Amino acid sequence: MPAKVEEFGHFIGGKWVVPPRAKRFETVNPSTREPVGSFVLGTPDDVNAAVAAAAKAFPAWRDTPAPVRGEILLEVARRMKEAKPSLGRTVTREMGKVISEGLGDVQESIDFIEYMAGEGRRLAGETIPSELRSKFCMTVRQPKGVVACITPWNFPTAIPNWKIAAALITGNTIVFKPATATARCGAEVVRLYEDAGLPPGVLNFVTGSGSVVGNALVADPRVRTVSFTGGVEAGRDVYVRGAQGLKMVHLELGGKNPVILMDDADLPLALDGVLFGAFGTAGQRCTATSRLILHAKVYDQFLEMLTDRLDQFPVGDPLDPKTGMGPVASADQEKKILEYIEIANGIEYGLSSALYTKDVNKAFTAMRDLYAGITYINAPTIGAEVHLPFGGTKATGNGHREGGIGAIDFYTEWKSVYVDFSDKLQKAQIDREE
């Protein structure tokens, strides 16, 4: 008799709740088709309750000292380290990436949470000279309020934590909607924040479709900021809907990333990079290597090297440590990949790029001229160090960044503060003598 599938509700106001007469959906292991978890199909009423909880919790969380917020994040990271083996396995079971990458997904979450915890003691503004006597000027950061975090299935713990940790350390409260295909990973992440002592209502979790839950989040006037990672068409829709409410919207939409091999490239090094960049996560990364551009002098040699390695490339059970590539995440994803192969030359993205060369002049020329948010020299188009901004140009997004100071900037508002201690009314330009 098959084991009972674990059922999850929404997480609203610090409690796991299941609305009356709720409909459900299941996530499945793409390798075995076995169910991984059962989840509630959220409604606009569920979104309303989650946003209300986040709005109620905001004043107290905003007023919690940022270093104290950082201590909670450190506890989340500590608990995630303990849970890494089981959580990494959940990533592989639900999303399909090989187990080393499932564990890597979790490790990236840990790294980012720890980094953002430290930012709780930095969140710096500026002190600036005034144009007037006896006047002090400074800038401070303020949280934006209730943030909607809408995440994809390909990095089902890392991308949620990029958004959640950055939004929390800066004093915002959150409603988090994970991809339906990887809702179990999202639920496990929320459990860790709950267990670490995050106050009720600061992080809320609603599962369901983008067309219902996502749209309701973007439409709610109490949600002032939206961070979305996903497909281009869905992202455009989120952007338009958000603009109607004059919301701040961050989009991270994907890429068709090139690796360029010059005639002096280290070909064995480049081969390892191309294989990992193209086939890691079964190519289901926004930074995945999608295009290979070869110098004429190395074209034939490298193509032969690549073909030989691909003939031996291990594809199979993603839980087997010897497997190099597992299944794609879902039947829908398989269909999309086959469609991409037919529109391959229509490049409108600018996320990641890579150049292999031993010539420093060529390297710096590439750094200057490649129009992308990320450029690698002698490494593939993958990976993101958590303390650097991550994002792209053109149709990859709308200019905002995750990671590093870019994330802090997105989740905060600047406030200019002036203190006049002159004991008289000063009128700046009006009082200025010619």
Q: What does the chain come to in residues?
A: 434
Q: Give the amino acid at 29.
A: N
Check residue 236 and report its DSSP letter.
H
Determine contact, residues 218/234, Cβ cutoff 8 Å.
no
Closest CA to 118 of 406, 405, 411: 405
- Count of CB atoms within 10 A of residue 38's CB? 17
Does the active-site annotation cover 75?
no
Determine contact, residues 374/277, Cβ cutoff 8 Å.
no
Does the active-site annotation cover 402?
no
CA distance linking residue 372 with residue 224, whole number of Å: 28
- Determine which one of 75, 108, 185, 286 is catalytic: 286
Strand 203-205 to strand 223-229: parallel, antiparallel, or no bridges (unpaired)? unpaired
- Determine which one of 82, 252, 402, 413 is catalytic: 252
Within 13 Å, how many C-alpha atoms sit on residue 394's CB side?
15
For the chain, the C-alpha Rg in angstroms (whole number) is 24
* Tokens coding 97: 């990436």
Annotate 212-262 with three-state secondary structure. Answer: HHHHHHHHCCCEEEEEEECCHHHHHHHHHHHHHCCCEEEEECCCCEEEEEC
Catalytic residues: 252, 286
